[in-house]
């Protein structure tokens, strides 16, 4: 036995192992008692088991265990089967050492292939065991540092992606909160919850390679957008492969869009091919996407979102137990309470500029009219207004005009007209004067031009007159025919509806009569040139 002074000194030399637990698996009572006594004298916390099945039960109930020392020849489940189970379930978490009287090389190689970190041959002197444990302690310390570094790097990548796309980082944080709370209620161990949290935090990391035009698109995706977006699980899994020691994290990243009926992507997995962690992440991912606000949609109420998840369960796509447990979580906790911290006071301005740039046409510098619709999704965009006006410069006989001038020259004429119209619109823009932002904005809608303005009707008449005069000169000079349509709307009318009404309007009416008509309902004022 070791003296107290020596034991204290040696305990300090195993700092990593002392923070965790050790499991000794040995069917011989005397040998097990000797080994356990040595380990405890070295300051280690030790649990013991006489066979493989009891060892698995101890590992399931005690998350603190990080080292298992096991014999090979035991009744029931032997050491080889135990190694296979431990490596399959706790790979990267539990270190294993074989202590056996079996000396042949074949058994040594087999044990190492099954995940053993070391092989001790009985009888093993305490000093030799301590020396080997001291080396393992250093290895564990270095691997812990490496894992923390990798995790920090992944979190940094997530933050970098979040600064590029604010929603993605908030989404990942919320999915992690949902999934971990759900898994905890389903009885997942502390170790499993740690793995699940890491997997959720990086589950969308592959989006870092998705082009801005797709990732930051304020509208709905088309088929090409979806084809690119569906690459992110595979890309993310490739980032993690061979860099993070736990395959379960990679599985979450790769499989979180898989569905139980095989309809998911990227692998089309189904049924038992999808593990319990992935099932929880899949349900959490869908729920958060439904209840969160996105540029192209309003947030969905909780009960409506849950009804959709339950429909997915009925159709065989999501796991019923995961969905119902998640429902009990969100009944008490709102994932939208998690918000991404702002890195600087300029972040909102950066996001606004990014949205604005997305809609800007590179050749003319004008915005596509969808930018106006994106602005209108801000609840404060039309607040405090009584009415607004839309003006559409609708070109006639463009086919004949293109045939006369050729496409390139015709486009050049249209761009020149747009620049002249911008100068006219700018004269009626009260930016910085009214305190409400722009009061006149010009947009492209295909080949046509659309103007949004909140200026008074007298100024609207003046703007329309200037536009008519300029377009008349253009028609006389190059033969480009156009008509000017105007509609006035109460501020309660959504802009998307107003644009649809304006574009659909085929009637011609007198401009001044339309502007004088104050009593007509939404979208009634018309001016035609």
- In angstroms, rounded to a whole number, what is the distance separating the alpha carbons of residues 390 and 485? 8
Query: What DSSP element (H or E) covers 395?
Result: strand 387-396
Q: Tell me, what's the pLDDT at 263? A: 96
Query: pTM of the entire structure?
Result: 0.63
User: What is the CATH T-level fold of the domain 165-337, as seen in this structure?
Assistant: Hypothetical protein af1432 (1.10.3210)
Residue pair 126/38 in contact by the 8 Å Cβ criterion:
yes
- For the stretch 309-320, pLDDT in tens is 999 999 999 999
Residue pair 389/486 in contact by the 8 Å Cβ criterion:
yes
Number of Cβ atoms within 10 Å of the Cβ of 492 = 10
- In angstroms, rounded to a whole number, what is the distance separating the alpha carbons of residues 309 and 290? 10
For the chain, how many helices (H) and strands (E)?
Answer: 23, 10
- In angstroms, rounded to a whole number, what is the distance separating the alpha carbons of residues 120 and 131? 12
DSSP state for residue 293 in the 8-state scheme: -
Q: What value does the CA radius of gyration of the chain take, rounded to a whole number of Å?
A: 34
Q: Tell me, what's the pLDDT at 143? A: 86
Q: Tell me, what's the pLDDT at 294? A: 76
The answer, yes or no, to whether the previous bond of 13 is cis (omega within 30 of 0) is no
Number of Cβ atoms within 10 Å of the Cβ of 268 = 12
- The domain made up of 362-504 is a member of CATH 3.30.70.270: yes
- In angstroms, rounded to a whole number, what is the distance separating the alpha carbons of residues 40 and 29? 16
Give the CA-trace dihedral at 431, 432, 436, 439, to 10 degrees. -20
Can you state the angle between helices 320-330 and 302-314, rounded to 10 degrees? 170
Q: Identify the CATH homologous superfamily for domain 17-140.
A: Response regulator (3.40.50.2300)
What are the residue boundaries of the structural domains of the chain, listed by start? 17-140, 165-337, 362-504
- In angstroms, rounded to a whole number, what is the distance separating the alpha carbons of residues 167 and 159? 11
Q: Tell me, what's the pLDDT at 371? A: 82
Q: Tell me, what's the pLDDT at 259? A: 97
Residue pair 243/89 in contact by the 8 Å Cβ criterion:
no
**Residue 441 forms beta bridges with which residues?**
452
Q: Tell me, what's the pLDDT at 219? A: 66
Residue pair 399/410 in contact by the 8 Å Cβ criterion:
no
Spell out, as residue ranges, where the chain has pLDDT lower than 70. Answer: 1-12, 218-219, 295-296, 341-358, 362-364, 431-438, 505-529
- In angstroms, rounded to a whole number, what is the distance separating the alpha carbons of residues 377 and 381? 8
- SS3 of 268, please? coil
- SS3 of 21, please? strand
């Amino acid at each position: 036995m070791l003296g107290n002074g020596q034991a204290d000194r040696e305990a300090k030399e195993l700092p990593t192992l002392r923070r965790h637990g050790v499991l000794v698996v040995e069917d011989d009572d005397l040998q097990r008692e000797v080994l356990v006594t040595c380990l405890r004298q070295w300051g280690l916390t030790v649990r013991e088991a006489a066979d493989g099945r009891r060892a698995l039960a101890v590992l399931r109930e005690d998350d603190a265990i990080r080292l298992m020392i096991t014999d090979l020849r035991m009744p029931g489940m032997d050491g080889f089967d135990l190694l296979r189970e431990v490596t399959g379930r706790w790979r990267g978490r539990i270190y294993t050492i074989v202590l056996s009287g079996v000396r042949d090389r074949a058994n040594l190689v087999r044990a190492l292939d099954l995940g053993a970190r070391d092989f001790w041959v009985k009888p093993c002197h305490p000093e030799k065991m301590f020396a080997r444990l001291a080396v393992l302690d250093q290895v564990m310390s270095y691997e812990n540092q490496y894992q923390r570094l990798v995790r920090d790097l992944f979190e940094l990548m997530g933050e970098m992606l979040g600064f590029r796309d604010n929603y993605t980082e908030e989404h990942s944080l919320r999915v992690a909160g949902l999934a971990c709370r759900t898994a905890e209620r389903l009885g997942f161990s502390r170790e499993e919850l740690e793995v699940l949290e890491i997997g959720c935090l990086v589950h969308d990391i592959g989006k870092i390679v998705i082009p801005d035009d797709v990732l930051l698109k304020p509208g709905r995706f088309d088929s090409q957008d979806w084809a690119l977006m569906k690459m992110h699980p595979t890309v993310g899994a490739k980032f993690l492969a061979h860099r993070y020691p736990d395959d379960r994290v990679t599985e979450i990243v790769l499989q979180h869009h898989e569905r139980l009926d095989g309809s998911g992507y990227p692998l089309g997995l189904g049924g038992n091919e999808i593990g319990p962690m992935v099932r929880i992440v899949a349900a959490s991912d869908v729920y958060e996407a439904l209840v969160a606000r996105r540029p192209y949609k309003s947030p969905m109420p909780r009960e409506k979102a849950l009804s959709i998840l339950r429909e997915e369960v009925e159709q065989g796509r999501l796991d019923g137990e995961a969905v119902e447990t998640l429902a009990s979580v969100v009944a008490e906790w709102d994932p939208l309470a998690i918000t991404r911290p702002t890195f600087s006071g300029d972040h909102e301005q950066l996001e606004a500029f990014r949205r604005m740039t997305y809609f800007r046409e590179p050749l003319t510098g004008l915005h596509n009219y969808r930018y106006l619709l994106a602005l209108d999704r801000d609840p404060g965009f039309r607040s405090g207004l009584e009415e607004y006006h839309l003006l559409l410069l609708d070109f006639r006989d463009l086919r004949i005009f293109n045939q006369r001038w050729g496409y390139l020259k015709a486009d050049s004429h249209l761009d020149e007209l747009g620049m002249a119209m911008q100068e006219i619109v700018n004269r009626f823009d009260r930016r910085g004067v009214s305190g409400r932002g722009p009061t006149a904005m010009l947009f492209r809608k295909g080949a046509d031009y659309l103007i949004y303005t909140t200026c008074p009707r007298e100024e609207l008449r003046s703007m329309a007159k200037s536009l008519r005069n300029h377009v008349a000169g253009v028609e006389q000079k190059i033969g480009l025919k156009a008509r000017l349509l105007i509609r006035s709307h109460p501020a309660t009318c959504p802009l998307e509806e107003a644009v649809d009404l304006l574009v659909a309007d085929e009637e011609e009416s007198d401009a001044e009569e339309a502007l004088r008509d104050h009593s007509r309902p939404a979208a009634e004022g018309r001016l035609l040139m």
